[in-house]
A and B are shown apart, each in its own frame.
Chain A
């Protein structure tokens, strides 16, 4: 390491270098501790229930005796809200990005970008609150549902939450498509929309894929909105208007009621491990796409 040689020559160069490197490494430490402590608190559940029981069990009765730790409805709930919100928000977000880069006049694009950014700043608890007080009653009356707190409600709000992420990141990658390719398309007699959808969008596909995955990731990990608006029933959803209880909301709702070291406590940490696993896998995917983009 060159740092070491310099250190021998001159202590005043080496000391700050060592301190800064050491402090910077605390980031690695934090990440290692996160993995370690989640495993430490989550794995003991395997003494009470097998992996199959946890993953395939359909009954989540953690406080009955004997307790049942079937997490399938919760996992399905997480999957369902993530899927529905992504289906709603990703095309919408890409559309907004296309609007901002290809259609919006420069003078007012700043205004719309600020709008999107502020939308992204809204605290999730506020959106959850809107879900409870505005959307739920509306859905309940309008569609004559038992409860307006359901998969659809939570997904719409999650969609609003991830929309700015998807739109902003997509916009960046659309922006990176060279103007010369747009010119080439126009010079062949393409309309603006043909240029947009057949040249610009494919040219930015990797960046948009990345934006979409980051959106999915946020949607999967978001807590307050699903806690407040998804209805909280640990059942396999059969329609988009069924209440669900995603993993994050189960952890948030139940952690306060468990005693440290109980099976329930370990089960909730195990859910944390599942969420962590999902996001890390998605994260690796993003990094893969990114390194391929850079290689091109």
Chain B
């Protein structure tokens, strides 16, 4: 019945065009193939689940391993006392403070410049060569390996500008590194400000700048800050850019001014693990320092993530 219908249909449908004969019965094509399709479907679903589970397991075991090994070292003294005895004893307050100082310096540079750049992109730029060039520069900057930025910091900040191996040089180098991140995050935040707000402010007679400063920036502020927090997390964990621009193996105390060199948590981890005089003896210190570093970096980053997800819910 079906076949008769097909034949008749094809002929009637395209009387002027020769039909290619009756349709093939597709249901039984390649016997067993349907079973094979079902097996591959289930198998690949299983493998993809397994892949994700594997990644989650890797992350959990890394964190659990470090927590188990370093948990015993953590104490109030560990985070409030400076290293002693050739860094084989004592705490890590010096690198903790150094890392905080580096964050501060880098953000003092990268945050204002990054937000201003984003304002330029989103509010002022009207296409053209200048905007394109800046866009290209930002993307290139974002792709530069951090160790190459370290070289640049050494040649430019330390040597050319004579800042020396210092908090300032290292902070500025880190600032260059996170500048594109801050620009992108701020741009997204600015783009999410409804055009109505700008129109309303302009309709009240506000100048372009008054509109941006009084309406657009405050509205975008939570998003901008969230981007800032996430880039602070990156600054706190990076080692390569500060290795030869400002971080040192050991410093007797905190950096008193911008031109002092500093100890930093990530570099301290590297030093303890590879360059210590007595690596065996410092093992507990290594795990303890890593745990503190992880707590700082993940603490900041997760705060940023939480702020971001709250923000997205508010927007919705």
Contacts and interface: CB of A to CB of B under 8 A. Distances in A.
Q: Are chains A and B native binding partners rather than an unrelated pairing?
A: yes
Interface in A72-110: 92, 95-96, 98-100, 103-104
Contact of B159 (A25, A196, A224, A260): A260
Interface of A: 2-3, 10, 12-13, 15-17, 20-21, 23-28, 30-34, 37-38, 40-41, 92, 95-96, 98-100, 103-104, 112, 114-119, 121-126, 128-130, 132-134, 160, 163, 191-194, 196-197, 214, 217, 220-224, 227-228, 248, 251-252, 255-256, 260, 268-269, 272, 275-276, 279-280, 282-283, 287
Given A34-B149, A125-B270, A269-B151, A104 B239 contact: no
A282 to B, nearest CB: 7
A52 to B, nearest CB: 24
Contacts of A268: 151
Q: How large is the interface on B (under 10, 10 to 19, 20 to 34, 35 or more residues)?
A: 35 or more
Nearest to A33: B156
B103 interface: no
Interface in B66-93: 66
Contacts of B121: 24
A137 B239 CA distance: 24
B144 A125 contact: no
A32 B133 CA distance: 11
A167 B120 CA distance: 31
Given A38-B152, A255-B154, A256-B244, A27 B179 contact: yes
A3 to B, nearest CB: 8
Given A17-B208, A224-B239, A33 B152 contact: yes
Say whether chain A's binding surface is mostly helix, strand, loop, or mixed: helix
Contacts of A26: 113, 117
Say whether chain B's binding surface is mostly helix, strand, loop, or mixed: helix
Given A124-B239, A275-B145, A287-B139, A23 B113 contact: yes
A182 to B, nearest CB: 15
Given A123-B297, A255-B244, A41 B49 contact: no
A173 B183 CA distance: 22
Given A115-B56, A191-B41, A221 B239 contact: no
A221 B40 contact: no
Given A25-B134, A125-B267, 19 more contacts: A13-B207, A24-B119, A24-B134, A34-B156, A38-B151, A115-B59, A123-B294, A124-B237, A125-B266, A126-B290, A130-B65, A192-B45, A222-B145, A224-B270, A255-B243, A260-B159, A272-B148, A279-B143, A280-B143
B26 to A, nearest CB: 9
Contact of B208 (A16, A114, A196, A197): A16
B66 A126 contact: yes
A112 B270 contact: no
A204 B295 CA distance: 37
